[in-house]
Amino acid sequence: MIHSVWNAILYQPLINALAFLVSIVPGGDVGIAVIILTILVKLLLFPFSQKSIKNQAAMVMLAPELDKIKKSGASKEEQAKLTFELYKKHKTNPFSGCLLVLIQIPIIFALYYVFLKGIKFDGGLLYSFVHTPPHLNMIFLGIIDLSAKSLPLAILAGISQYLQAHFMPQQKTTAGASGSFGESFGKSMQMQMKYIFPFLIAWIAYSISGAVALYWVTSNIFAVGQQIYVKKTEKKVLDKEVEVLISEK
């Protein structure tokens, strides 16, 4: 039952979209089709991921005010009330990012699964109005075989993953032993995402196929561009909001 729903709602639409793209791109280049499909899916998820990144950026900008509340000497109940008021004033929810990520995960995983299973347009998965591509060219730009392992693309996948973590809004943590467990855990996760996860992504990309590696590279580059966009467009707004908040105290 779950497998049927998975195929009908996620996997089948994506494999049909890929088949359509392969049939219209020059030379049936699967690599170009993979890039286009990945970008289209990222654009579909753009409102969700955009809000999640903006929420992360807002949390970073509000960190000094949250730190003031923690050090105010107020009771736990009063601190919770002040924190809630701060979030409400700036329309920020520290848990909304988790929900937005959960919405995206099934779609992103389905797209990954399309490339993981190999580029095959059979098994009755194609819709009646989508025809099997007459030509399937797995040599991306005439250089890289996407059906085999690709070290260059795997390296690019790792580098692009590092860049994505680098440009992601970073929560500043309290230095020294006085930092809370949550702060220490957050800093540890940031370090792992930035310096360890890229090696894991590169290894996975190389272990499977060039198509998966190309998917990761495209997805990460799109995410980096989105994060830079948020940083440039939202930072000034958030700065003004924090200034107003401070002036009102």
Tell me the two tokens of residue 35. Answer: 């890039």
Task: Give the global pTM.
Answer: 0.72
Task: Give the per-residue pLDDT at 247.
Answer: 57
Task: Give the per-residue pLDDT at 152.
Answer: 92
Looking at the structure of the chain, the number of domains it has is 1
Whether the Cβ atoms of residue 65 and residue 242 lie closer than 8 Å to each other: yes
Helix, strand, coil shares, percent, the chain, to 5: 75, 0, 25
Tens digit of each residue's pLDDT (9 = 90 or more) over 31-49: 999 999 989 988 888 877 7
Spans of the chain, pLDDT less than 70: 1-3, 50-63, 66, 73-74, 86, 89-104, 117-118, 123, 169-193, 234-249
Enumerate helices (H) and strands (E) in the chain, giving the number of each: 11, 2
Rounded distance between C-alpha atoms, residue 58 and residue 235, angstroms:
8
Task: Give the per-residue pLDDT at 83.
Answer: 74
Range(s) of the domain holding residue 216: 2-247
Tell me the two tokens of residue 55. Answer: 């929420």
Task: Give the per-residue pLDDT at 221.
Answer: 93
Strand (E) or helix (H) holding 56: helix 46-61
Tens digit of each residue's pLDDT (9 = 90 or more) over 220-247: 999 888 888 877 776 666 666 556 555 5
Rounded distance between C-alpha atoms, residue 73 and residue 66, angstroms:
13
Rounded distance between C-alpha atoms, residue 192 and residue 126, angstroms:
40
Task: Give the per-residue pLDDT at 194.
Answer: 72
Task: Give the per-residue pLDDT at 185.
Answer: 46
Task: Give the per-residue pLDDT at 218.
Answer: 93
